[in-house]
Structure 1
């Protein structure tokens, strides 16, 4: 009976960690943060505005250094190290202009932003169809990257469980803090890998999907993306006239 109780408690703890991990994942990716309850949505909105201001300043500095590189006198040109540092400061805030309160959420959102800008493709509509034509090894790589993202979030769920024990057991505090740091770093790395694979898969295999859809062969670009999206998009149903 004691062994059964220990096993049941371990199973319940594992399920609780996974449940908390799903909460951590939704918070880290922040896909629908505009619908968060008050006061979380207000805090997130202010944080997004601050990140946008910081990103605008860093981006302006980077573009100014790029402009100085075209100076006719070599002495007036900045060192490459300065430009690399400015680019790194910008990327540390977000890869593209921030639209979400977290770096991981913005990193995945940046893949959709880039594809919409460069290829005129809506990743949300395109992805289920593209997934069916991807080679098995690529789908395996994407699945492993997505699983790594989930595991990093579950580690954050364990941190929340240990934090709940801090009232009775003080060593739980440094343990929870350590797990938070590790979880944050793994979320950062996993979201970067996952977003990179999503974007690369679209850029490399959009022509394969276009071939399946019997679209005339076109070079990779906005024309091909627009043609694919027109074929995949469902028409808006006509509204009945009011009587």
Structure 2
């Protein structure tokens, strides 16, 4: 037991160091550099070196007690910056996925609704162009008997996918990518992912659980990187090199976030398609073969929450 607790503590310390302290220390270093150099001497390394040397010779930095206090203060500030970045990352993730945009404050809700309508118009036009290209290729195949060039068809398909995999229902690509998995499962198998997922997660084997957990962690890390970008951005007011740094972090976060969302959506859809019958077996349902709409309706009915019945009127009241 002591060995387990020791290993757990070591693992938690490593995660605390890698996720909070080290990125936070880099942020504090950048903030200090911005404060010392400013805009006029943004790239003057000599000035920065002289200031650090002056601080190192101060009485606080030359005594053991001062060094302990200084190290503790730096670690605390770095951890606080890391927690702030994590919090901003959570906000970025919720905003990017926009699962609850209908409950946003009215101004944001109206803006999100307008974005959804514009994306839906663009997606409909892209689908129409893709269907036209399919018809053109079919007529060419019937007329010449040879396979038409697939490049225009693939380009039309990618143009549609860049907007959304299914008809847009959220203001962001990432939100629609996860929503598309739920739409397909409901359309193909009548499976309600929100209802099925808690029970499915408990019955999943170790390998798919590990893959989904890894994808979710990658999603969280990408969102946290966006949180760091938001922390670095205000430093531009004092030190212009912080601007390119914040922009590079934001672009990297966007790329990683979209990749993680796509991987998570694929794993989510695959897990439901492959293991929905395992949930049915656990519930004692007699079903053979892959999931079908009949099974989906049965699972939704069995696992769904039912509204409580209203109290009977006219009954005797208790004292």
TM bucket, shorter chain: over 0.9
Match of residue 287 from structure 2: 217
- The farther-off stretch of 67-76 and 20-29 is 67-76
- The farther-off stretch of 32-41 and 107-116 is 32-41
Match of residue 82 from structure 2: 14
Write the distance in 2 (CA, Å) between the matches of 1:134 and 1:209: 9
| TM-score, scaled relative to structure 2 | 0.73
The answer as to whether partners of 1:68 and 1:77 remain within 8 angstroms in 2 is no
Q: Relative contact order: is structure 1 or structure 2 higher (C-alpha 8 Å, sep ≥ 6)?
A: 1
The answer as to whether partners of 1:163 and 1:176 remain within 8 angstroms in 2 is yes
Write the distance in 1 (CA, Å) between the matches of 2:104 and 2:308: 30
Match of residue 276 from structure 2: 206
The answer as to whether partners of 1:21 and 1:155 remain within 8 angstroms in 2 is yes
Paired residues, number: 243
Match of residue 247 from structure 2: 177
Per-residue CA deviation, residues 160-193 of structure 1 (Å, 9 max, x unaligned), is 0001212112111111111110000011100000
Match of residue 201 from structure 2: 131
1:44 correspondence with 2:112: yes
The answer as to whether partners of 1:112 and 1:123 remain within 8 angstroms in 2 is yes
The answer as to whether partners of 1:68 and 1:78 remain within 8 angstroms in 2 is no
The answer as to whether partners of 1:118 and 1:222 remain within 8 angstroms in 2 is yes
**2:93 aligns with one of 8, 14, 25:** 25
Match of residue 3 from structure 1: 71
Cα displacement (A) at 1:63: 1.4
Q: Which ranges in structure 2 are unaligned for 5 or more consecutive residues? A: 1-68, 315-319
Write the distance in 2 (CA, Å) between the matches of 1:34 and 1:76: 50
Per-residue CA deviation, residues 44-72 of structure 1 (Å, 9 max, x unaligned), is 11111111100000001111222333323
**1:79 aligns with one of 124, 149, 154:** 149
Moved over 4 A (4+): 75-78
Match of residue 5 from structure 2: none
**1:58 aligns with one of 126, 135, 150:** 126
Match of residue 306 from structure 2: 235
Q: For 1:189, what is the secondary structure of its paired residue?
A: helix
Write the distance in 2 (CA, Å) between the matches of 1:201 and 1:80: 31
CA RMSD of aligned residues (A): 1.6
| TM-score, scaled relative to structure 1 | 0.95
- The farther-off stretch of 71-80 and 138-147 is 71-80
Bigger Rg, structure 1 or 2: 2
Match of residue 256 from structure 2: 186
Cα displacement (A) at 1:235: 2.8
Q: For 1:69, what is the secondary structure of its paired residue?
A: helix
Cα displacement (A) at 1:75: 7.9
Q: For 1:59, what is the secondary structure of its paired residue?
A: helix
